[in-house]
Structure formats: C-alpha cells, structure tokens
Amino acid sequence: MSDSQKWLILVLLAAFGSLLYLLQPILTPFLAGFLLAYLASPIVNRLVSWKVPRIGSVFIVFIAFSLFFLIIIGGLIPGVKSQIVYLNTKMPDFIRWINSQAIPWIEETTNVSLTHIDISMITDFIGNSWQEAGSFVGQVLSRIATSGMSIIGFLGSMALVPIVTFYLMVDWTKISVEIEKLLPRHIQPQVTSLVKECDDVLSSFFRGQFLVMISLTILYTLGLKIVGLEIAVIVGLIAGLGSIIPYFGFTLGIVIATIAAIFQYQEFLPIVWVWTVFGVGQIIEGWVLVPYLVGSKVGLHPVVVIFSILAGGQLFGFFGMLIAIPAAAVIVVLLRHVRRKYLASDLYSSEASKQ
C-alpha cells in the first residue's frame, strides 16, 4: 500500500468520524435498530436454514421480539408504578427517620457533625408538585405544553427503532455481501477474518450480557420480594440493568436495598437477608451466568469497560455510551491482530535475538 493510499484511508476515517460526531443527535434510533437486527440475525438465519422464507423468518422473529418486550414492559409498569407511589408517600417518614435516628447515629459513631435535612421544605415541595400536576396525566400534559417538540421528537425517534430493525433484518445478508464485494481483493481474506473475530467477540458480549442482565434483574427482584423489601422491583431493575458495567449494578443495588431495609425494618436480620440475596446473585453471575452466557471470547477487562463507557459518554453523550463497548471490543480485536503481526515480524525476532 502506497503512502498516498494510507493518507487517503486516514482522511476517509477522519471524515467518517467527524460525520458521526455531527450526526450523533439523530443516530440513536438507527444504532438501536442496528443492534437489535444484529442480535436477531442469527435466529433469522437459523429459520432460513430450516427452509422458512426470509421474509417469513423476519416476521416471526420481529413479532417474537415485540411480544417479549411488551410482556416485560407490561409486567414491570404496575410494579414500578406502585413502588413509586410507595416511595412518594414514605419519603417524609424516611427523611424524619434520617434526621431522628440515622444522622445522630452517624454523628455519634464518627464524631462528625452533619446538617439535618429540611423536612418541611421537601414535604412542601412534594405537596405543591402534586397539587400542580394533579395526576400522572396532568404531568404528561404539562410537559407536552412546555416542551412539545422535544416530546414529539423523542416519540418519533422511538417509533423509528422497530422500522429500522425490521428493514435491516430483511436485508442483513444482502448488505453484508455487498460490503464484502467492495473490499479490495488483496485484503479481502484478512478483513473477512478480522470481521469474523470481531463478530465472535461482539455476539458473545451482546447476546450473553443481555441474558445476564435479564437473569440478574429477575434474580434480584424475586430474592428481594421473598425478603419482603417494598421496593424490590425498582432495586432489581437498577441492580440487574446496571450490571452492564462491572460491579456498578451490584454496588448501587446493595446500597439502595440496605438503606431501604434499614428504614423499613429497623432490624439487623432483614439486612443480612438482603446482603445474602446480593451475595448469591454475585456467585451465580460469576460462576454460572458469565462463564456460560458470555464466555471467554470477549476479553474486555472490567476497567476497559468502565473507561469505554465514560469516554463514550464524555465524547458523544448517550450515543457514545451505546457504541462504547462495541468500539472497545473491536479495538481489542485489532490490537490482538497488531500484537500477532508484531510477534511474527522481523523487528520482534531481531530484538529477541539481541537479548
């Protein structure tokens, strides 16, 4: 490859990155649709291999995915709604408990003076908010009145996701073949090999991590329900979905659950049961879910995952957080390839022979 060709590739990559940065406010529904189509494509291909027409396979998988998400959302909304109402009604009591018991105990134990929370200000704020809104419908109408175009834009973006997903599922194989045809013939085998390796890493992570998140959400929610925690569904969602970042969901979930258990029971034994639920969850995640569902192909260190998500959010906002882990996985694969090339090069051999 000549120097001019290398510079052309660098310029094209820079232009592509700049274009992504400029378009990132509108790319989220397309990226979400691409990820869903990517997750669904192996199932569609399996149905096609069973002599089901591709359009029929796409319809079957699309309807199955839609029903799955509707059932999940429909099952969660009543529980989350009732627990939000519970939190709203218990918040004044919780603040009083913090002022009367928690803060004095912390001050006595640590010899540090803490400022008490102004209960009257918070209760007045909550009361005024309910009077102004009146109901959930009132809140929605108020938001629409003040930021109607934002609401319409958000709903429009969400409506694009299933449309983009459907069309990408239909043409996934065709798009892949056409992209492969555009590759220069002398690098086509090497690029295909790299893409296959990237696909192995990404598929292992996305499909496996999605199942891990769902499993942990169910496990934590059921476990905390058995313990009797009033906000079990909310804590289960936070801990399960937060597990996309290593240890983040576990840490945030156990802190929230412990505080809620202290306030609800004010006894030590229920807190131990809450810790037991999270301990069992960690054991199942580390010994069963991750090894069998994610596997060892991913090779993303927890620190790399955390850094990637923070860096993606800093650079590109929410869109950057969505693409952070896939980008990190691809970079790791490329670095492995560079390492293999270096170890097989004369440069490495000559340096090793000198030593």
Angle at 226 between CA 222 and CA 229, to 5 degrees: 90
The verdict on 31 and 167 lying in the same domain is yes
Separation in Å, CA 116 to CA 21, 136, 244, 259, 286: 45, 31, 35, 17, 40
Task: Please count the CA atoms within 13 angstroms of the CA of 171 that sit on its side-chain side.
Answer: 10
pLDDT tens-digit readout, 235-251: 999 999 888 777 788 99
Q: How far apart are CA 48 and CA 307, in angstroms?
A: 39
The verdict on residue 7 lying in a domain is no
Quick one: tokens of 20?
Answer: 């992504």
| % the chain with pLDDT above 90 | 12
The verdict on residue 12 lying in a domain is no
The verdict on 292 and 306 lying in the same domain is no
pLDDT-derived band at 276, boundaries 50, 70, 90: very high
The verdict on 218 and 87 lying in the same domain is no
The verdict on 119 and 63 lying in the same domain is yes
Mean pLDDT on 320-348 = 79
Quick one: tokens of 123?
Answer: 């209760």
pLDDT-derived band at 133, boundaries 50, 70, 90: very low
Biggest alpha carbon distance in the chain? 80
Least confident of 90-94, 149-153, 246-250, 253-257: 149-153
Greater pLDDT, 163 or 144 = 163
The verdict on 133 and 276 lying in the same domain is no
Greater pLDDT, 294 or 61 = 61
The verdict on 220 and 322 lying in the same domain is no
The verdict on 265 and 345 lying in the same domain is no
Task: Please count the CA atoms within 13 angstroms of the CA of 152 that sit on its side-chain side.
Answer: 5
pTM of the model: 0.67
Long-range contacts of residues 339-345, Cβ cutoff 8 Å, at least 24 apart? none
Mean pLDDT on 268-285 = 92
Least confident of 29-33, 54-58, 67-71, 96-100: 96-100
**Residues of the domain holding 285:** 203-296
The amino acid at 321: M
Over 90: is that where the pLDDT of 279 sits?
yes
Q: Note the pLDDT of residue 5.
A: 63
Helix, coil or strand: residue 113 = coil
The verdict on 170 and 259 lying in the same domain is no
Over 60: is that where the pLDDT of 354 sits?
no
Separation in Å, CA 95 to CA 88, 109, 274: 12, 20, 22
- Nearest-CA neighbor of 300 among 197, 207, 205? 205
Q: Note the pLDDT of residue 137.
A: 47
Greater pLDDT, 58 or 129 = 58
The verdict on residue 13 lying in a domain is no
The verdict on 316 and 289 lying in the same domain is no
The domain total for the chain is 3
Over 60: is that where the pLDDT of 147 sits?
no
Q: Note the pLDDT of residue 12.
A: 78
